[in-house]
Amino acid sequence: MPTLSGAMRPAVKVGKSRERLACSACRDRKLKCDRNTPCGSCVRRRDAASCSYEPPGDNSGHSRQHQAHAETRLERLEQLVELLAGQRTNNTSTAATEITPPGMVAEEPSAEANTGSTALTLDVPQLSYSGTTHWLAVLEDIQTLGPTPQSSAGEVIDTETAGVSPTETGLGVMFGAGALHSRSVGEVLNRHLPSRRDTDRLVSTFFRTRSYIIPFIHSSQFLRHYHDFWTNPGEMSPLWVSILFSILYIAANITKPEGETERAGRKFSDAAAQCLILGEYFRPKAFVVEALLLYIQSLYITSLELPPELGSILGLVIHLATISGYHRESMTANCSPFTKEMRRRTWSVCVQLDLLVSFHMGLPCKTRFSAADTHIPSNLLDFDFDEDSIRLPVPRPDNELTGVSFCSIKHRFVPVFEKILHHVLTARTHRATDTEVDSLDGELKDVYRNLPEIFRPQPIANSVVDPPSLVTTRLCISFMYYKCICALHRPHVTSLRLNSIQECYTASVALIRDITYLYAECRPGGQFDTEEWFMKSITWCDLLLGATTLCLVLCTTSQKAGEYRIDEPGALALLEEARGVINAEQAKGNKKDSTRVLSLVNATISHIGRQDNNETTSLVAGLPTFPSINVEQASQQEDWCWTRSETNAHNDTSWAYLE
């Protein structure tokens, strides 16, 4: 029987001699190259030494070498397929590290393997889905108002993100990409652990500034494990060592020098991932849920974008926590009071993180509130209880700020948050009734009204004497409330439902107003310069959602703003502020998610501004008409303009990818 590699072996062609216009590293990674020496891509990867250009000449030898390498990769694939087929036939199950053919393990990695390339790349189109809670879905609603805004000709969107590819480090390491995995915890420690003094400083920074957002790490228990670790580092669980490296990674980003745009301490994130692999993170065992949960949090509070792989790891965390019984109070009957309380904290963070990430990805959550009976964490400080506690003390009053307040107050929104997420993501043959919407709206408002006095929202400018942790807790709660309002009412805006328009307008204005103010105050020297983590991925998605929702409201009501009590000049001023924030982040290279939103904001400001100046605009059924957009052009062009078009938006399929 002919082999796969034999059947696919191409005939040798003599290539035409020509000058290489990209450096070798960019050509191997298939990246854009600015042809400088060294090029920008290599500089961002901190690999300027490998930036080199091949002179023109006979490349037949290179072709033969490339062909031989491709054949070797195909042969490896055949071995893997045969082994997997044999295992399936025998109904055997082995660990992920045991399915690799022995010949592949013993072989030294090639230069290409070290860059994170896989054994074989199949050209399969990538499909993605984002539900109605994602800001992209708002663009689909704007599409229904008329043909959509079109990019200006000649403008090209730079889709290359700055920094190292995520498949080379961090999450990519956990999925087998990037550098060769370490063989032991000792090897990871030798490579990545700083001196005791530097480690002490970073750990201290974490517990002084960030521990309140990660309540499942008990400070006293951690300190005991920390001392044991330095006594005999090699004897500690790899999963606990992963927790330590995630803490170092968070702290390194807190203490990074002013103006540094690339995430600091990336080596700590890589080390945490390596330790998760060594600790077999896919199996339920001690520290595994906490290690994975902290690793996920270390990523989303230090990055502006949510990595798509985050959902896969989060799903595994929920699965492991459920298998281990974190969701059931009855599972802790034989546990100590300390263990019970720490499991409650861990499960609460699991549920909240699952809801938040699922919401912003527009996907159903993995947890079900009705399937869990674990209690809300008690309002206690870490020194109120410890591993030797016979019973838990009486919880502190809800109005008293503790290290767990950030978690326990948000947990009150979990039931209604899950209901709203399920409601808006349910596949329907008809629009939800007003009764359904109003019922969920009332339930959400009841939770919001019944918050303890200290956590009720108030203007940020009136919080100058409050601890930053209290202000961020208030803001986080209000952002949860406002984005739930946007998600619940946004599908009914284009049908001109008065209450939904007003609710979306109020919520989107509040989101943009507070986030743009917070953005300025989180910069060095600002009121909340120690809380810059709060302006990362989750809050950034809230800003994009608020901006697109406000654009939708303005476009829907542009001819009758007075009837809906909408302050157009004030709304446009807020969009200008949002545009300034987005432009500032784009200048740092954060363009992946914000380019389309920025284009929409620009188009809305231009369109509404022309109307205010009594300039002529074309209308479709009394609503603003926007020119059609081609899906291919959307990925290549940037600034949208508002021009006349006779295309019917309801028959335009060019935006089907937003569904």
pLDDT band at 591 (very low <50, low <70, confident <90, very high): low
Cα(449)–Cα(416) distance, rounded to whole angstroms? 14
Looking at the domain assignment, is residue 81 inside a domain? Answer: yes
Looking at the domain assignment, is residue 50 inside a domain? Answer: yes
- Over residues 292-344, the pLDDT tens digits come to 999 999 988 888 877 777 888 899 999 999 999 999 988 777 889 999 999 99
Cα(513)–Cα(331) distance, rounded to whole angstroms? 45
- Over residues 508-547, the pLDDT tens digits come to 999 999 999 988 888 888 888 888 888 888 888 999 999 9
Cα(383)–Cα(386) distance, rounded to whole angstroms? 7
What DSSP letter does each residue of 125-175 carry, written as one string?
Answer: -------TTSHHHHHHHHHTTSSPPEEPTT-----PPSSS-TTTSTHHHHT
- Among the residue ranges 11-25, 182-196, 291-305, 624-638, the one predicted with the least confidence is 624-638
pLDDT band at 444 (very low <50, low <70, confident <90, very high): very high
Provide the pLDDT for residue 145.
57
Sign, Cα dihedral of 243, 247, 249, 250: positive
Beta bridge partners of 640: 151
Q: What's the per-residue H, E or C state across 585-632? A: HHCCCCCCCHHHHHHHHHHHHHHHHHHHCCCCCCEECCEECCCCCCHH
Selected residue with higher pLDDT from 209 and 219: 219
Cα(467)–Cα(401) distance, rounded to whole angstroms? 10
Closest CA to 485 of 493, 475, 496: 493
Cα(531)–Cα(436) distance, rounded to whole angstroms? 38
> Under a CB-based contact definition with an 8 Å cutoff, are residues 395 and 380 in contact?
yes
Beta bridge partners of 619: 624
Tokens of residue 99, six digits: 């399915």
Looking at the domain assignment, is residue 262 inside a domain? Answer: no
Q: Summarize the confidence of residues 270-285 as an average pLDDT.
A: 92
Beta bridge partners of 620: 623
- Among the residue ranges 43-52, 87-96, 134-143, the one predicted with the least confidence is 87-96
Q: Summarize the confidence of residues 113-137 as an average pLDDT.
A: 45
Sign, Cα dihedral of 399, 405, 406, 410: negative
Q: Summarize the confidence of residues 633-653 as an average pLDDT.
A: 32
* Averaged pLDDT of the chain: 75
Provide the pLDDT for residue 75.
63
pLDDT band at 650 (very low <50, low <70, confident <90, very high): very low
Is pLDDT at 90 greater than 60 in this prediction? no
Structural domain count, the chain:
1
- Over residues 408-422, the pLDDT tens digits come to 999 999 999 999 999
Cα(637)–Cα(45) distance, rounded to whole angstroms? 26
Provide the pLDDT for residue 70.
62
Place of tokens 């609503």: 623
Provide the pLDDT for residue 170.
56
Looking at the domain assignment, is residue 9 inside a domain? Answer: yes
Secondary structure class of 548 (helix, strand, coil):
helix
Tokens of residue 20, six digits: 């290489």
Chain centroid to Cα 61, Å, comes to 44
Secondary structure class of 640 (helix, strand, coil):
strand
Looking at the domain assignment, is residue 471 inside a domain? Answer: no
Looking at the domain assignment, is residue 157 inside a domain? Answer: no
Helix axes 196-209, 238-254, angle to 10 degrees: 70
pLDDT band at 137 (very low <50, low <70, confident <90, very high): low
Cα(131)–Cα(359) distance, rounded to whole angstroms? 8
The percentage of residues in the chain with a pLDDT greater than 70, rounded to a whole number, is: 67
What does each C-alpha distance from 416 to 24, 353, 423 come to in angstroms?
53, 15, 10
Cα(364)–Cα(158) distance, rounded to whole angstroms? 31
- Over residues 448-495, the pLDDT tens digits come to 999 998 998 888 878 888 888 888 889 999 999 999 999 999 989 888
Looking at the domain assignment, is residue 53 inside a domain? Answer: yes
Q: Summarize the confidence of residues 47-75 as an average pLDDT.
A: 63
Q: Whole domain around residue 38: which residue ranges?
A: 4-13+23-104
Beta bridge partners of 151: 640
Cα(267)–Cα(32) distance, rounded to whole angstroms? 25
Q: How many CB atoms lie within 10 A of CB 317?
A: 25
Tokens of residue 157, six digits: 């969107």
Cα(487)–Cα(42) distance, rounded to whole angstroms? 41
Q: Summarize the confidence of residues 540-563 as an average pLDDT.
A: 85
Looking at the domain assignment, is residue 195 inside a domain? Answer: no
Q: Summarize the confidence of residues 140-150 as an average pLDDT.
A: 53
Provide the pLDDT for residue 134.
56
- Over residues 593-630, the pLDDT tens digits come to 678 888 889 988 988 877 665 544 343 334 443 333 33
CB burial of 272-290 (b: ≥16 within 10 Å; e: otherwise) equals bbbbbbbbebeeeeebbbb
